[in-house]
Amino acid sequence: MVILSGTGSWRARLALPLTQRAATAPQHFIDYFSYANALTGNPRQLRPVALPTDFLADVAQAITELPATLQQRLASKLLGIYFVAGLGSTGLTDVLLDESGNIIGCFVLLDAEVLMQRTANQWASWKINIPFRPGNANLALRIADGADNTRKTAIQHILLHEFAHVLSTGEAILPDWWRSSAELGNTADYAFLQLAWTISADKRIVPTLANTLPLLDKVDYAGDRPLAATDVQPVYQALAQSAFPTLYAATSVYDDFAESFAVYVHTELLGRPFETTLSDGTRTVLQFNATDWLQRQPARRAFLRQYLTAN
């Protein structure tokens, strides 16, 4: 959460075409997030990054291909897509508030270095392997086929995840992520949360018992404390029976919504694959895809369909 004064220039960005809202991050964003990292003991320092013309063209094309209704809803909430180096993850979304606490909009911050040289399947497989040490377990994620396996497709899928955070800001389907736990309502107050999560008596948002995965409290997508390679199979076997489309979705209700939204749009609306495969080097141990997930979760599928068609 960022609180700003003098918000007129930020609000003016909401009048720009979406494809003109992507740029190198301004220095004050870089300074702010580097400072925020330092406060939490994170040593990463963000850096400005030069964006090649072909990279920006990929970003613009990734946005242009999205359903028109989705672009229309983003137009009133997305302040910008900003690129840095050294973020330490693919990206994040944050909300800008005015001095009275009113929402101005959201911005997306992406690490261009993570994206520059990876195709869609390379990026997707790289990400799902972050929480585990290398070993005999081969974990792969296919999100594109043939000529569609490009950097642009990777960028588009990443943006879908971040855009879900943007769209859900200030809506009752989830609690606002920047507010204190004391401000949480009840589980039934949040339409998406109640599909796989619950608000405990001590005001924590936790998965329901049926969706509590082994070792989940030790899953670290920063890559600082990787689990053993032998942990991949039990974790992913449990994941394949849960409400979650990805392991990342199981780490928080906010990323559950973002991952569910991204996978649904990616597969149902854009017609692309989303298939996770685990092998031990000689044989396939486990394989599941978005179709399997959606068939097991009719309430979630209905929610996403209704959410994406609502005005």
Please write the tens of the pLDDT for every residue from 278-289: 998 789 999 999
- Banded pLDDT at 10 (limits 50, 70, 90): confident
Bridge pairing between strands 205-207 and 275-279 = unpaired
Q: Which of 145, 163, 164 is nearest to 153 (CA)?
A: 145
- Banded pLDDT at 111 (limits 50, 70, 90): very high
- Banded pLDDT at 7 (limits 50, 70, 90): low
Would you state the pLDDT for residue 106? 95
The pLDDT of 289-293, averaged and rounded, is: 94
Would you state the pLDDT for residue 294? 94
Would you state the pLDDT for residue 290? 95
Mean per-residue pLDDT over the chain, rounded: 92
Radius of gyration of the chain (CA): 19
Q: Which of 252, 294, 305, 273 is nearest to 92 (CA)?
A: 252
Q: In degrees rounded to 5, what are phi and psi of residue 220?
A: -130, 105
Contact 138, 280 (CB under 8 A): yes
Instruction: Determine what percent of the chain is predicted with pLDDT higher than 70.
Output: 96
The pLDDT of 235-263, averaged and rounded, is: 97
* Cα within 13 Å of Cα(197), Cβ side: 25
Would you state the pLDDT for residue 223? 78
Contact 309, 178 (CB under 8 A): no
Q: What is the value of pTM for the model shown?
A: 0.95
- Banded pLDDT at 52 (limits 50, 70, 90): very high
Would you state the pLDDT for residue 311? 62
- Helices 298-309 and 253-264: crossing angle in degrees, nearest 10, is 80
Contact 278, 137 (CB under 8 A): yes
